[in-house]
Amino acid sequence: MKIITKIAAVCCMWALSSCDSYLDVNQPSIYTDQSLYKTPADCEASIAGVYSQLQTIYNRNYLEAIVLREDAIKNMNNNITRFTDTSTEKTWETAWKSLWVLVARSNKVLDNIDRVIFSDESQKSHIKGEAYAMRGLAYLQFAWCWGGSPLITTDLSLAELRKVKRSSQEETYQQAIKDFELAYEMLPEKRSGTEVGRITKYAMAGMLGRTYLYMHNYTQAAEWLKLIVEKEPSLYKMAANYEDCFDDSFDNTSERVWEVQYVGGSTGKALGISQTFNSMLLASSINLEKDAPFLHNVTFKGPSGTAQVSESIWGEGIYEDGDIRRAATMVNNLYYDKDYQHEDTYTARKFLKATQTKPGAYDEWGNNISILRYTDVKLMYAEVLNEINYSANITTILSIINEVRKRAGLEAVDATKLNSKQATFDYIVHERFIEFCYEGVRWPDLIRWGLAEEAMEKHFSLKNEGFNTATQTPMYTMEKRNLLAPIPQSEINAYGDENIMWQNDGY
C-alpha cells in the first residue's frame, strides 16, 4: 500500500481539482469528468486521491479532535480538552470539512467509474468498494460525533448541496451501514503485492460491527465481528507484543485490519505523505540528552502546543502491577530542559517507536495509523457476546480477555472474578481504556456506553486537572451538549436556513 501513497502524491492536483467543486466554488477547474475518467488507470489515480484524504483526516485533524476529548489527555490550554469549545472552534471545523472532502472524492469516483471500460471487472468492483468504504467511514463519524449530517451520495453543485436537509443520527448510521455493506460485497478478502494495505472486505465487516455496536444492535454487531474472528490465524491475529501494534516495522501485518498509510523520513515529508500525529503528545521541552533515551531515542522535540498525559490514566490503581502497557504507553521523571526530574508529569511514548524508517523531525513519521486493530475487533466481540448472553458466552469472553492480558504480561482471570454481566462489562470498559488510549477509540466508547459525563466528572475532580480542594469545585466541567460536537458555525451561516442545517443543542 505504500505504493498508493506515492500515487496519491502525484495525483494530488488531479483529485483536488476534480472532487471538491462544491466545497470551494472560488477555485475553478480546467478539468472535466470526461477528461479525467477514460481508462482504468484514471480510476486508479482517482481512488488514490480518495485514499490520500485519509492521510489528512488521521494526521491530527479529525483524529486529534476526538483524542483531545478523552480523559487520558491532561487539561491544557485547549478548548476541546476543557469542554469550553463553541461552534466556532477551528479544530471541529477542520475535521468536519476534511470528512466532507472524503465524501466528495468518493462520490466523484462512484459517479464516473461506470463510464470506463474495464477488461478486469474485479478491478472495477474493488475500486467501487473502496469508494463506498471511504464514504461509509465519513458518515459513521458524522453520525456518532455530530449526531447526523446531510446525506450526499452523488456529486452536487454548491447550490444543490445547500438544499439537502441534515439527516438524523439514525439515518446517518444507516447510510454508513449501506455503504459498508456494498463495500463488503465488492472488496476482496485479502490483498497482496503492491495492493497490500488497500481496504478488504473484512475491514468492512469490522466497521459494520463497530457501527452496529454504536447503535446498540449487539446481535448484528456479533454477526459481522465473528466473520473476522473466524479468519484467525489465516488472515488476522493479535500482535505478539503491544509495541508492535504501533511500530512501523509491523505496518500492514495481521494486527492491522484497516490502517492509514504513510511514508516516513525526509522522502515522505517531501512528498507530503509523512505524519505528525505521533508527535502530538511529545513535549516541545524535552531534554534531548537526558530524556530521549526513554522516548525511543527521538532526535527532536515535539511541536508547540502538544498534549500531555492525564493523571486519569497514570494515577494510582489504573494499571495492574506488572502490566507492560503502562511503560509502553507513558514515561515520567523526565527533565524537560530543567535541572530536576518531573515525577508527576508524564509523556506518551506509545507511538514513538519507528524501527523501519527513523524520523529525523517531529513531522517525518512513517508509522501507519490504525482505523481498526484486530485487538479492537476481539474486544468488541467479547463485549457484544456479553451483552447478548453472559452465561452462554463467558468461556469465549474469558478466552479473548485472557489473550489480551497475556500479551500485557498479566495472569489470566476466571469466572469467579468476572461473575456477572455487569462485572464483565465493567472490566471491558477499563480494559479498552488502557489498551486503546490516544487511538481515537476512547471518546466514542464513552459516548456509546453513556459514560462520558461520569468519566469526565471523575477526570475533572483530580487536583492535577485543576480541582480546587478548598472549595471542592472543578475548574472545568463537561456539559450534556458536549456529547455531540458542534456543527461549525461557518456551515450554519452558509446554509442560512435552520430547517435544513441546524445546530446541536447547547451550542
pLDDT digits (tens, 9 = 90+) for 70-81: 999 998 889 999
Q: Is the pTM of this model over 0.85?
A: yes
Under a CB-based contact definition with an 8 Å cutoff, are residues 223 and 32 in contact?
no
Distance (Å, rounded) from C-alpha 270 to C-alpha 259?
A: 21
- Nearest one of 462, 471, 402, 460 to 431, comparing CA atoms: 402
Q: Give phi and psi for 347, each to the nearest 5.
A: -115, 135
349 Cβ contact partners less than 8 Å away, ≥ 6 residues apart: 294, 295, 296, 328, 329, 330, 331
Residue range 175-229, pLDDT digits in tens: 999 999 999 999 999 999 999 999 999 999 999 999 999 999 999 999 999 999 9
Under a CB-based contact definition with an 8 Å cutoff, are residues 50 and 105 in contact?
yes
Q: Give phi and psi for 355, each to the nearest 5.
A: -85, -35
Residue range 403-437, pLDDT digits in tens: 999 999 999 999 999 999 999 999 999 999 999 99
pLDDT score, position 71: 97
pLDDT score, position 34: 66
Cell numbers at 372, concatenated? 481498526
pLDDT band at 263 (very low <50, low <70, confident <90, very high): very high
- Nearest one of 259, 258, 262 to 275, comparing CA atoms: 262
Please determine, for residue 7, whether its predicted confidence score (pLDDT) is greater than 50.
no
Helices (DSSP H) in 193-300: which residue ranges? 201-214, 218-229, 265-271
Residue range 435-468, pLDDT digits in tens: 999 999 999 999 999 999 999 999 999 999 999 9
Bridge-partner residues for 473, per DSSP? 468
Please determine, for residue 166, whether its predicted confidence score (pLDDT) is greater than 50.
yes
Residue 28: CB atoms within 10 A of its CB come to 8
Residue-range domains of the chain with CATH = 2-199+484-495 (1.25.40.390)
Residue range 40-78, pLDDT digits in tens: 999 999 999 999 999 999 999 999 999 999 999 998 889
pLDDT score, position 224: 98
Distance (Å, rounded) from C-alpha 427 to C-alpha 440?
A: 20
Question: Long-range contacts of range 486-494, CB-CB < 8 Å, 24 or more positions apart?
Answer: 486/85, 486/86, 486/87, 486/89, 486/92, 487/87, 487/96, 487/146, 488/87, 488/88, 488/89, 488/92, 488/93, 488/96, 488/97, 489/86, 489/87, 489/88, 489/93, 490/93, 491/93, 491/96, 492/87, 494/162
pLDDT score, position 191: 97
pLDDT score, position 35: 72
pLDDT score, position 336: 96
Residue range 283-313, pLDDT digits in tens: 999 999 999 999 999 999 999 999 999 999 9
pLDDT score, position 361: 98
Q: Kindly state the DSSP code that residue 471 receives in the 8-state scheme.
A: T
- Nearest one of 448, 1, 12 to 217, comparing CA atoms: 448
Scan for cell 467543486, then name that residue: 21
Under a CB-based contact definition with an 8 Å cutoff, are residues 311 and 267 in contact?
no
How are beta strands 369-373 and 256-260 bridged, if at all?
antiparallel
Distance (Å, rounded) from C-alpha 93 to C-alpha 105?
A: 19
Residue range 108-154, pLDDT digits in tens: 999 999 999 999 999 999 999 999 999 999 999 999 999 999 999 99
User: Apex CA 22: angle with CA 30 and CA 273, to 5°?
Assistant: 75
* Percentage above 70 pLDDT, the chain: 93
Cell numbers at 208, concatenated? 459494520
Please determine, for residue 37, whether its predicted confidence score (pLDDT) is greater than 70.
yes
Residue range 321-343, pLDDT digits in tens: 999 999 999 999 999 999 999 99
Please determine, for residue 12, whether its predicted confidence score (pLDDT) is greater than 90.
no
* 3-state SS, residue 20: coil
Distance (Å, rounded) from C-alpha 102 to C-alpha 93?
A: 15
pLDDT score, position 479: 96
pLDDT band at 3 (very low <50, low <70, confident <90, very high): very low
- Nearest one of 299, 311, 306 to 463, comparing CA atoms: 311
Distance (Å, rounded) from C-alpha 100 to C-alpha 94?
A: 10
Please determine, for residue 256, whether its predicted confidence score (pLDDT) is greater than 60.
yes
Mean pLDDT value across residues 366-382: 98
